[in-house]
């Protein structure tokens, strides 16, 4: 009885942690399984291609690869300015009406085809409105201020695309007045 209670209170451990590693000669061959697997999926970011080449995946690099690590599928680490995390957190607390509608009616709680989206995600020196790692999508809700700064948006989109991300833009009016059309457009991009 004590053994059963003890097992339930302690999480399972790997054979190495339990001390059950195979003993043998020092000439044991190292594990041949690579540290990461690459699978078909969204466009491969340039940094991921470089990593794959360094790890010996030259022959398996296709036009579209996604890293699968620890059972999770998605893009490798995306660099960001750590100073933006506090601002992103503040933006999540105070969304625009269009962002709030998009989040509550389409993207939160894996409502959109069971994909996980993040709000106000810092990437490089920008904060994107919505981000899905598995799809490699950035969804931006453009307000009136975006019409005044098209060059800024073009540079931002180019930088995000260099990371292999797909930038999808919707206007405030589209989200507020035609959320079903926005959902249908996103669903069409999946197929």
**According to the model, what pLDDT value does residue 148 have?**
75
Residue 28 pLDDT > 70, yes or no?
Answer: no
**According to the model, what pLDDT value does residue 38 have?**
46
| Rounded average pLDDT over 144-156 | 83
| Rounded average pLDDT over 129-158 | 90
CA distance 189 to 30: 43
Q: Where are the domains of the chain?
A: 35-77, 84-190
CA distance 43 to 62: 9
Residue 61 pLDDT > 50, yes or no?
Answer: no
**According to the model, what pLDDT value does residue 150 have?**
86
| Rounded average pLDDT over 61-75 | 47
Helix residue spans in 103-138 (DSSP H)? none
| Rounded average pLDDT over 146-169 | 90
Tokens at residue 119, please? 């709000």
Q: Which CATH number fits domain 84-190: 3.40.960.10, 3.40.50.2020, 2.40.440.10, 3.40.50.300?
A: 3.40.960.10
- What is the DSSP secondary-structure string of 64-84? SEEEEETTEEE--PPPB-TTH
Highest mean pLDDT among 28-42, 53-67, 162-176: 162-176
- Judge whether 147 and 120 are in contact, CB under 8 Å: no
Residue 19 pLDDT > 80, yes or no?
Answer: no
**Number of C-alpha atoms within 13 angstroms, CB side, residue 116?**
6
Q: Considering the entire predicted model, what is its pTM?
A: 0.63
Mean pLDDT (the chain) is 76
SS3 141: strand
């Amino acid at each position: 009885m004590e053994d059963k209670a003890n097992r339930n209170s302690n999480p399972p451990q790997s054979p190495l942690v339990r001390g059950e590693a195979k003993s043998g000669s020092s000439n044991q061959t190292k594990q041949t399984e690579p540290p990461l697997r690459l699978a078909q999926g969204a466009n491969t970011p340039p940094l991921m291609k470089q990593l794959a080449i360094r790890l010996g995946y030259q022959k398996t690099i296709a036009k579209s690869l996604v890293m699968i690590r620890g059972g999770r599928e998605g893009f490798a680490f995306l660099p960001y300015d750590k100073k933006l995390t506090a601002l992103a957190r503040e933006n999540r607390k105070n969304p625009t009406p269009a962002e709030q509608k998009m989040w509550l009616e389409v993207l939160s709680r894996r409502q959109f085809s069971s994909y996980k989206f993040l709000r106000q995600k810092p990437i490089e020196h920008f904060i994107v409105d919505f981000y899905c790692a598995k799809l490699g999508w950035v969804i931006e809700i453009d307000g009136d201020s975006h019409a005044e700064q098209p060059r800024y948006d073009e540079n931002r989109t180019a930088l995000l695309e260099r990371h292999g991300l797909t930038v999808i833009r919707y206007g405030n009016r589209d989200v507020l007045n035609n959320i079903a059309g926005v959902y249908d457009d996103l669903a069409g991009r999946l197929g």
